């Protein structure tokens, strides 16, 4: 199950550096590609706002 990023995202970049499969892309808020995400949870652990959760 892929992770998703909510509107609580502050676009800090912490999650991008942690994603081992480059599933996160930039935008107004960051977006996780569900086809690329391996559900490793690395992004969840580093998000300072708790904006990342399982879909």
Q: What is the pLDDT of residues 3-36, one digit of tens each?
A: 999 999 999 999 999 999 999 999 889 999 999 9
Q: What is the pLDDT of residues 34-52, one digit of tens each?
A: 999 999 999 999 999 999 9
Max intra-chain CA distance, the chain: 24
Among residues 23, 19, 24, 22, the alpha carbon closest in space to that of 9 is found at 24
Residue 55 and residue 3 in contact, taking contact as beta carbons nearer than 8 Å: yes
Query: Domain with 21 in it: what CATH number?
Result: 3.30.70.20
To which residue do tokens 């676009």 refer? 11
Tell me the residue range of the domain where 8 lies: 3-54
pLDDT score recorded for residue 28: 87
The domain total for the chain is 1
Report how far apart the first and last C-alpha atoms of the chain are (Å, whole number): 7
């Amino acid at each position: 199950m892929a992770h998703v990023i909510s509107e609580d995202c502050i676009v800090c970049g912490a999650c991008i550096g942690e994603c081992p499969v480059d599933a996160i892309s930039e935008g107004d808020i960051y977006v996780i590609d569900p086809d690329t995400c391996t559900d490793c949870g690395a992004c969840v652990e580093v998000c300072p706002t708790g904006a990342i959760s399982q879909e």
